[in-house]
Structure 1
Amino acid sequence: MDSARRPILFVSLPESGLINPLLVLAGELSRQGVEDLWFATDEPRREDVHQASERAPVEFASLGDVTPELSAVTWPDDVYQEVTQSSRFRAHRAVIKQSYKPALQAEKFRRLREVVDKVQPALMIVDCMSGFAVDLALSRGIPFVLSVPFLPSNVLTSHNPFAKGYTPRDFPVPHSGLPRRMNLAQRVANELFRFRTLAMFFNPAMGRVLSEDARLRKELELPPPNPMTRIERAELVLCNSVAELDYPFGIPEKMRLVGAVLPPLPETSGDDPVREWLDDQASVVYMGFGTITRLTRDQVGALVQVARRLQGEHQVLWKLPAEQQHLLPAPDELPGNLRIESWVPSQLDVLAHPAVKVFFTHGGGNGFHEGLYFGKPLVVRPLWVDCYDQAVRGRDFGVSLTVDHPEGIVVDDVVDKLTRVLGEPSFRENAERIGALQRAAGGRTAATDLILGLPALV
């Protein structure tokens, strides 16, 4: 395929949930022989970018080390507790407080500006949380594509009660975890969520942050921030979902729903002990709670008991990070149906395996869509912000059940939800229907066709 006349520059924060779909798209463009591909992200992702190279190289452009204050993986424990607390609004407020750091965003902006000066991209493809990249594209007049690994309403619903949005006024506010059909108390809570979000910016401490942001924007010659500008000024908004996973509303034409964006499968070949083990099983519960979740000793012990209660009917595969495995009981106290891995060669290969019957997940955007892509019903233990929104829709659309106990993991409730999802055919049938819709949406091939058809590259 002929290369673009000028380069394509991907930009993403280093979190897996944001960067993974963009790495897949870069890999697909490389596989099609598109040249002049660049990928700007933080230094620890250098090797991941290099691995995206297929027929044509994908060049890495460093944005420096990970900024701890901006990365949920490196937040201190007290911040983690604050952003994952049971109060939806307080957790939402804590995330804004922690991530709204104008000076740190400005530093990423300056680093990216150097990359843009060198690369001179014809098009930027940007994850929707990299506001500094959107600002740079706008300030330079560079056409850009916005990547959204969440439900479409996540970026189309305003948190400001007086600002423009694309959803109806009574639509559930993102991060509220509220359903579309609300009782009176829920409707009041939904409206208060918006007004409380607005009110937090009148706090003196937040006022100082706003002043700092205004000063830096003037220095960098940037317009005032407006969340909907990234939608309105984008050439294309790629959303890794399907309309049937969100509550109905009018989606703007420039947003294209392509379903989960996944690489060619299988990702692993040759000796894969996890796949070999799965081949020998009849029914497996896969437990994986993402890269951000930090379990306590009591929660780890409770999940071991969940596996023990399933013994005799189901095997359990648990991806538990190595740094949390010291919380496990002694090896001789673990049930025989439980296999623990600190890392699996490919979570996608695991979810695609016919022996896996249910995915027990934290409900993040990627995991939620990936599990359903392979027709696997879910049990969701929401972690924070958007996870609650995915969980409530999964429940309402009959593809998942939710366990949500702020005080910890209740073994009886988890076993009950897993047993119901495993035993009631409607969950599997609904998940398979959603999976078929996602596959029909086209994923990475539809996304790359849309990108290559943009005027900036023609």
Structure 2
Amino acid sequence: MDSTRRPILFVSSPESGLLNPLLTLAGELSRRGVEDLWFATDEPRRPDIEAIAERTPVEFASLGEVVPEMSAVTWDDETYRAVTQSSRFKAHRAVLRHTVDPALRVAKYRALETAVDKIEPALMIVESMSLFAVELAITRNIPFILSVPFMPSNVLTSHTPFSRSHTPPGFPVPHSGLPYRMTLAQRITNRIFRLRTLAMFLNPSLSKVMAQDGPIRKELGISDAARGQMARIDAAESILSYSVTGLDYPFPVPEKMRLVGAMVPPLPQSPGDHRVSDWLDRQGSVVYMGFGTITRLTREQVESLVEVARRLDGRHQILWKLPADQQEFLPPAEERPGNLRIETWVPSQFDVLAHPSVKVFFTHAGGNGYHEGLYFGKPLVVRPLWVDCYDQAVRGEDFGVSLTLDRPETIDPDDVVDKLTRVIEEDSFRARAEFFARQQRAAGGREAAADLVLVSPSLK
């Protein structure tokens, strides 16, 4: 490799919630004129990578087609129901049973290996769920920065009772949806959650799958240093977390972790598309409903949300980002309430959340949505979807920025209308959301993240 070159290689899974913060970071580096930028992800995201280049190119390195088991967007309906069921542990177990298979990483590892041989990166920036990329970086001794689109505790807390953890004993286990201050029953549940996770790996069916891990590691030549839940933390040169102190429960954050807040691109993100923005300009109070790319609403749930809009007619407008395949559950246009605007896709969720007419964000509370809504000072009403969404939901309530539906799986219109009304009309929610907006902006976002990358010793 030419000694003047210092390639930076981004690696991410294709899901928007995992990929988008790194798109923003890569775009910022390109905007600053940084040379030799590469981005490795699955083939369907090629257009997204090619679109972010500004002053310097961002080259695409294909990791092939999406592996269905590794992408929640492609799971069948039975798996979706299992991972989004109301039991926190059963949902957690379903996710692990469906995704924990050493054989799934082989094709991605090999594809990334080919890309690394070509690019010879001086530094990798790896999304935290792309464990195959962490394993390759450790095996090849390539410095890497870990990208965490979740709360810090999500990657720093052990899921099992005997593994090392960066959070104190008794800290809520990720995906449990438990609060920081627990009742006795909740403390017992928290301990059992860890024990049941450990027991799950001792179950014959999963043990048989995990027995493949050793031979596959040997076949791929993966270093033993890449083993264990905390390997990605220990081996990372630094860690980028898109949160701020105060939006997670308190614990000593490792020195190498930098909390920069939500990764927001320069706004407006879509200056040429005025359809939605012009409509927003004409409204006084708007509820924005957006439940991410994974949520699959049923006919009954869609009908309930239409009823919510009907009950709010005359007080608030509703902007609802609803995928096309779920719009078949809507009543005919002439039967919908006049305050309901449906969009298959909005040009920029950032632009919507930034608009002063939007008063509340009705969300599934994924890691990005939770922080992005608050970045713009919007209080939240939460219909948690799965795994980490319940963790964000309970923190949001504890920190006074959100309310959570009593029965997320059924979507009771009375409950939704009550919580939307309270969050909009009670000043404390807006005040707390605006406080965390200031905290996030002070943390630096994409600019602070880019600064951290550019001071990496590996780029000197």
When the two structures are superposed, what TM-score results if normalisation uses the length of structure 2?
A: 0.98
What is the SS of the residue equivalent to 2:202? coil
The amino acid of 1:452's aligned partner reads: L
CA contact (8 A) 1:272 1:345 kept: no
CA contact (8 A) 2:101 2:210 kept: no
1:209 corresponding residue in structure 2: 209
Deviation at 1:269, TM superposition (A): 1.6
Deviation at 1:406, TM superposition (A): 5.3
CA contact (8 A) 1:4 1:35 kept: no
The amino acid of 1:438's aligned partner reads: Q
In the alignment, which of 206, 214, 237 is matched to residue 239 of structure 2?
Answer: 237
Matches within 5 A, 1:69-108: 69-108=69-108
2:160 corresponding residue in structure 1: 160
Give unmatched runs, 5+ long, in structure 1: none
Indicate whether 1:442 and 2:444 are aligned: yes
Deviation at 1:225, TM superposition (A): 2.6
1:289 corresponding residue in structure 2: 291
CA contact (8 A) 2:383 2:408 kept: no
What is the SS of the residue equivalent to 1:153? helix
Q: Deviations over 1:113-172 (max 9, x none)?
A: 000000000000000000000000000000000000100000000011011111111100
Deviation at 1:407, TM superposition (A): 4.7
1:181 corresponding residue in structure 2: 181
In the alignment, which of 363, 376, 379 is matched to residue 377 of structure 1?
Answer: 379
User: Runs in 1 of length 4+ with deviation above 3 angstroms?
Assistant: none
The amino acid of 2:252's aligned partner reads: G
Indicate whether 1:325 and 2:318 are aligned: no
Deviation at 1:253, TM superposition (A): 0.3
1:338 corresponding residue in structure 2: 340
In the alignment, which of 255, 272, 281 is matched to residue 253 of structure 1?
Answer: 255
Distance 1:297 1:169, change over 3 A: same
The amino acid of 1:216's aligned partner reads: I
In the alignment, which of 264, 283, 286 is matched to residue 262 of structure 1?
Answer: 264
Distance 1:374 1:4, change over 3 A: farther
User: Aligned partners of 1:38, 1:173: CA distance in 2, in Å?
Assistant: 35
CA contact (8 A) 1:85 1:406 kept: no
The amino acid of 1:395's aligned partner reads: E
1:43 corresponding residue in structure 2: 43
Indicate whether 1:66 and 2:54 are aligned: no
Matches within 5 A, 1:412-423: 412-423=414-425
Matches within 5 A, 1:143-154: 143-154=143-154
User: Aligned partners of 1:404, 1:142: CA distance in 2, in Å?
Assistant: 47
Deviation at 1:227, TM superposition (A): 1.3
Distance 1:406 1:286, change over 3 A: closer
**Cα RMSD for the two superposed structures:** 1.0
When the two structures are superposed, what TM-score results if normalisation uses the length of structure 1?
A: 0.98
User: Aligned partners of 2:4, 2:189: CA distance in 1, in Å?
Assistant: 49
User: Aligned partners of 1:227, 1:248: CA distance in 2, in Å?
Assistant: 21
User: Aligned partners of 2:132, 2:457: CA distance in 1, in Å?
Assistant: 24
The amino acid of 1:448's aligned partner reads: A
Q: Deviations over 1:417-454 (max 9, x none)?
A: 00000110000000000010000000000000011001
Q: Deviations over 1:373-429 (max 9, x none)?
A: 000000000000000000000000000000041551101000000000011000000
User: Aligned partners of 2:73, 2:61: CA distance in 1, in Å?
Assistant: 22
User: Aligned partners of 1:225, 1:206: CA distance in 2, in Å?
Assistant: 18
In the alignment, which of 425, 428, 439 is matched to residue 426 of structure 1?
Answer: 428
Deviation at 1:100, TM superposition (A): 1.1
Q: Deviations over 1:10-38 (max 9, x none)?
A: 00000000000001111111111100000
CA contact (8 A) 2:288 2:362 kept: yes
CA contact (8 A) 1:399 1:431 kept: yes
Q: Deviations over 1:190-214 (max 9, x none)?
A: 0000000000001111111111112
The amino acid of 2:135's aligned partner reads: D
Deviation at 1:234, TM superposition (A): 0.2
User: Aligned partners of 2:408, 2:12: CA distance in 1, in Å?
Assistant: 32
2:132 corresponding residue in structure 1: 132
Q: Deviations over 1:225-265 (max 9, x none)?
A: 31111011100100000011011100000000000011100
What is the SS of the residue equivalent to 1:340? strand
Deviation at 1:101, TM superposition (A): 2.1
